[in-house]
Amino acid sequence: MTRNLLIGTAMLFALAAPAAAANYTFNVIYSGGGMASLAAGSDDPTTTGLVAGDTFTYRLTAAGAGEWTTLQAGSIFPFFALTIGNSGTRTLDFNLNLNNNGSSVFNHSEMGAGNSFAHLGTNTVSFGAGMVWDEYELSGTLLTSTTATTNPSGLLPWPGQGPEQYQPTFIAFNANAVPEPASWALMILGFGAVGMGMRAGRARVRFA
């Protein structure tokens, strides 16, 4: 009898204990024009239900030589991160990082940020003019939610739209960006090496 009571009590505690927090990584490749795809090995936000305590990292990376740029300075809503299918209020800690060629060009963090309606991510953030980046990276921890689960409804920050389509007067996307000076220098050195190799190949040895 005592043994059964102990087992029953243990089961009740197990059921009452909160589920362990999960960590998700969403890696999305953006090709412009609202076209996006999941990178290999990425978690799928469209099939993920986030609950309080869960952490996530959302990366939106431009394909190929693509890049975003700010057309003017202003306070804008840069990134919903995850569009939610159910309305509610949510709070989260987050860090937004914009990277260009692997280096950070912008960083903004908030603790206990309140999100309402149907999104999980940033609120209004101040951007400078002429910023250039090829990757958004937003890391967050969902602290509270008025809904049982927070279910993302698409890969992009806004359904079927890239960030520049949502903020067309502030953000532009160039799918075929011109290489930066450092990239040009490497290309010129490469062409020079090829030329020297071809010239050496044509050289002839003469005997006296």
**Does residue 204 lie in a domain region?**
no
**Does residue 8 lie in a domain region?**
no
Per the structure, the complete domain to which residue 103 belongs is given by 21-182
Over the stretch 145-166, which tens digit does the pLDDT of each residue have? 998 888 888 899 877 789 899 8
Rounded distance between C-alpha atoms, residue 158 and residue 80, angstroms:
7
Contacts of 40 by beta carbon, 8 Å cutoff, 6+ apart: none
Q: Give the sign of the dihedral formed by CA 154, CA 61, CA 22, CA 111.
A: negative
pTM of the model: 0.76
Domain count, the chain: 1
**Does residue 50 lie in a domain region?**
yes
Contacts of 44 by beta carbon, 8 Å cutoff, 6+ apart: 26, 38
User: What is the pLDDT confidence band of residue 201, given thresholds at 50, 70 and 90?
Assistant: low
Over the stretch 4-13, which tens digit does the pLDDT of each residue have? 544 454 444 4
**Does residue 114 lie in a domain region?**
yes
Q: What is the pLDDT of residue 203?
A: 42
With b for 16 or more beta-carbon neighbours within 10 A and e for fewer, the 18-52 pattern comes to eeeeeebebbbbbebeeebeeeeebbebeebebeb
**Does residue 150 lie in a domain region?**
yes
Contact assessment for residue 154 and residue 83, using Cβ atoms and an 8 Å cutoff: yes
Over the stretch 124-148, which tens digit does the pLDDT of each residue have? 999 999 999 999 999 999 999 998 8
Which of 18, 145, 22, 4 lies closest to 87, judged by CA?
A: 145
Tokens of 203: 């050289």
**Does residue 109 lie in a domain region?**
yes
Which of 66, 70, 30 lies closest to 178, judged by CA?
A: 66
**Does residue 206 lie in a domain region?**
no
Contacts of 85 by beta carbon, 8 Å cutoff, 6+ apart: 118, 151, 152, 153
Kindly give the pairing relationship between strand 74-76 and strand 55-62: unpaired
